[in-house]
Amino acid sequence: MPVITYRDALNQALREEMQRDDRVFIMGEEVGVYQGAYKVSKGMLQEFGEMRVVDTPITELGFAGVGVGAAMVGLRPIIEFMTWNFALLALDQVVNSAAKMLYMSGGQYSIPIVFRGPNGAALQLSAQHSQAWESWLAHIPGLKVVAPGTPYDAKGLLKSAVRDDNPVIVLEGEMLYNTKGEVPAEEYVIPIGKAALKREGDHCSIITHGKMILVALQAADQLTKEGIRVDVLDLLSLRPMDVEAIAATVKKTNRAVVLEEGWELAGIGAQVVDYIQRECFDDLDAPVVRVHQADVPMPYAKNLERAAKPDLPKTIAAVKRVMYLEQ
């Protein structure tokens, strides 16, 4: 099976969907001539032309709104944000137009649009460019939200997002674009709303999403050397969320750690814990522990940034804590 980067997996998904359906087009800052801020749209202007690979000014609200209008008349736009931090300026169109148009038009206008771009922290981008937006976006009825952490998942979920008749948020990661993984050459899609069990064990469950899946799998490898076997569940989709898969893993291991990149208060992990207490209360042998970013704007200083981020040592400590091996 070919091994490619996360960036190339996204590029393949975009290319294949634009070849399959001439209503699909991509629009955003530097997606054409510059071939994308992270080169995800490399070569696409040359293949599809400027009518389907559209460079825009630095106007997130404007081109998000143009995308919503295009979706209303039957096109299938893919809107690239250079980072979801910049998409704050476009949230009126994402939340008030894309998410609500189907409801407010009495079902007359579906909005088949994809909003995608990097989410969360990278390295020393500081407070305004390091934020994880998944809990904000997953809070909105009318949006679907996916967060792939591997090249395989990135391609399969982006293809599903393009084919969906609802607005879909695709949360990528700057630190993921160069990561590599196996991606089939054959056609495939990954259904939105289904989680994936990435590692099987019977002592504890780590439930996570996005780039934190890489940390969770490293933790599983290291814990195995100590005789601790963990389930690693990758949610993949945050809205809708696969509650059945969450319940299945927790009922199997009776202990859970929820690992996320965002802040603690009202984070995605809080929703996962709510599902666990509703579905698995009598199956728990210990309180669920969450691992998340420190409750501060992301520091710029390297040592403070490292201290603020969720990481491998914090995840391993959390697993040992729910197993009563550490305080």
- Hunting for tokens 């290291």 — which residue is that? 222
Round to whole Å and give the CA distance between 38 and 11. 11
Q: Left if phi > 0, otherwise alpha if psi is -120 to 50, otherwise beta: which for 242? A: beta
> What is the CB neighbour count within 10 angstroms for residue 93?
25
Round to whole Å and give the CA distance between 213 and 162. 23
Q: Which of 29, 60, 134, 260 is catalytic?
A: 60
Q: Is 15 helix (H, G, I), strand (E, B) or coil?
A: helix
Instruction: Give the sheet arrangement for strand 53-55, strand by strand.
Output: 53-55, 24-28, 76-80, 114-118, 168-172, 144-146, 237-239
Let me know if 60 is a catalytic residue.
yes
Buried b (16+ CB within 10 A) or exposed e, 158-187: bbbbbbbebbbbbbbbbebbebebebeeee
- The reply to whether omega before 240 is within 30° of 0 (cis) is yes
Cβ atoms 266, 215 nearer than 8 A? no
Buried b (16+ CB within 10 A) or exposed e, 245-265: bbbbbbeebbbbbbbbbbbee
Round to whole Å and give the CA distance between 308 and 295. 8
Cβ atoms 132, 89 nearer than 8 A? no
Cβ atoms 199, 167 nearer than 8 A? no
Let me know if 129 is a catalytic residue.
yes
Round to whole Å and give the CA distance between 323 and 5. 36
Q: Which of 16, 30, 129, 264 is catalytic?
A: 129
Going from the C-alpha of 284 to that of each of 136, 229, 250, 273, the distances in angstroms are 28, 17, 8, 12
Q: Which residues are catalytic?
A: 60, 129
